[in-house]
A = this chain, B = another copy of it.
Amino acid sequence: MAAPESDASKRQNYRLKIAYHGKPYHGWQRQPGKVTVQAELEAAAEALYGEPVAMAASGRTDTGVHALGQVVSFQAPAKHGPLTIRQALNAKLDATIRVLEARRAPGDFHARFSATGKTYCYRILNAAVEDPFRLDVRWFVPRPLDVSAMRRAARHLVGEHDFASFASNPGYARETTVRHVRWLRLARRGDEITLRVHADGFLYKMVRNLAGTLVKVGSGRLAPEELLAIRETRARRAAPPSAPAHGLFLESVQYEGTTPARRFDPAKAAAKRRRAKR
């Protein structure tokens, strides 16, 4: 580990990219008596700095929801370099949470308020038999799904619309439920179907609600054209139930000047991560 840097009294803003498996956690947000990602990360940071550190994420994730690239920001004494921070936090954290990247950020950077968009993916195992190795990370749907019908339905979900039919939280009543879905892609690869969606922001449980609805279309129990009417009803009861939490991944968060790749190549992403980490 690098030696502490000088001028420990100066404070610095930092930005982390973290990944976590959702299963062991009651979501991101700190809650009394619950094991949460925020509580774990803040405890690791407090052990490093010897003082409480408040972590802000790009947004909450629910119990069981995974993250591949959650972004977190925090203020701390300027005494440790980014590599030290990453290594020290990873040394204290359980391996179900990993700091992939740490860097210094401008003073006005805030993981939530500076975000200009987010990308989620929802992963489905579409096979006749469950896979013991993907139980906690895919929604198992044994009924064959028609991906082209799902794509036709998804056309009604792209663009700037009122997504109230796909928002689970009644607290949105006095807030806008208009969001701009910039793109939504569906791909089948082997026995997996992946839904990836990028928007300027998401309503509560919106991706799981979209996934639940699209799977109903894929299994032939809802016509693709009905999506327009469901959307225009602007009432949660109009749309089918949510998809389960364990298929959902917060893939990446976008800030000024970054755009997410529409095509996700796992091998390329892994190679990039490897280059970045060494």
Chain A, interface size category, equals: 35 or more
A100 CB within 8 Å of chain B: yes
* In the complex, chain B residues whose CB is within 8 Å of the CB of A132: 19-21, 66, 95-98
Asked whether A133 lies within 8 Å of B128 as measured between CB atoms, the reply is no
Interface of A is mostly: mixed
Set of chain B residues within 8 Å of A190, measured between Cβ atoms: 266-267, 269-271, 274
Cβ–Cβ < 8 Å partners of A273 in chain B: 127, 129, 191
Cα-based distance from A128 to B21 in the complex (angstroms): 18
In contact, A127 and B191 (Cβ under 8 angstroms): no
| Identical chains bound together, number | 2
Are A277 and B127 closer than 8 Å at their CB atoms? Answer: yes
- Establish whether residues B131 and A98, one from each chain, have CB atoms under 8 Å apart when the complex forms: yes
Given A189-B267, A191-B274, A278-B144, verify A133-B129 contact (CB < 8 Å): no
Is A135 positioned at the interface, with any CB of B under 8 Å from its CB? yes
Cβ < 8 Å to B, chain A residues 214-271? 266-267, 269-271
Complex Cα gap A160–B99 (Å): 46
Cβ-defined contact, B96 with A135, below 8 A: yes
Residues of B within 8 A of A274 (CB): 127-128, 190-191
Q: How far is the CA of A21 from the CA of B191 in the complex (A)?
A: 18
Of all chain B residues, the one with the shortest Cβ separation from A128 is: B277
Q: For residue A44, which residues in chain B have a CB less than 8 angstroms away from its CB?
A: none
- Measured in the bound complex, the distance between the Cα atoms of B274 and A189 in whole Å is 12
A159-201: CB near B (< 8 Å → 1, else 0) gives 0000000000000000000000000000001111000000000
* A133 adjacent to B127 (CB under 8 Å): no
Residue A90 CB within 8 A of the other chain: yes
Chain B residues near A127 (CB-CB < 8 A): 270, 273-274, 277
Q: List 28 A-B contacts (CB under 8 A).
A: A19-B132, A20-B132, A86-B129, A90-B129, A90-B130, A95-B130, A95-B132, A95-B135, A96-B132, A96-B135, A98-B129, A98-B131, A100-B129, A127-B270, A127-B273, A128-B274, A128-B277, A128-B278, A129-B277, A133-B137, A144-B278, A189-B267, A190-B266, A190-B267, A190-B269, A190-B274, A191-B273, A192-B270
Q: Could you list which residues of chain A lie within 8 angstroms of chain B, going by C-beta atoms?
A: 19-21, 66, 86, 90, 95-100, 127-133, 135, 137, 144, 189-192, 266-267, 269-271, 273-274, 277-278
- Top 10 nearest A-B pairs (CB, nearest first) are A190-B270, A128-B277, A21-B132, A190-B267, A191-B270, A95-B130, A96-B132, A191-B274, A98-B129, A129-B277
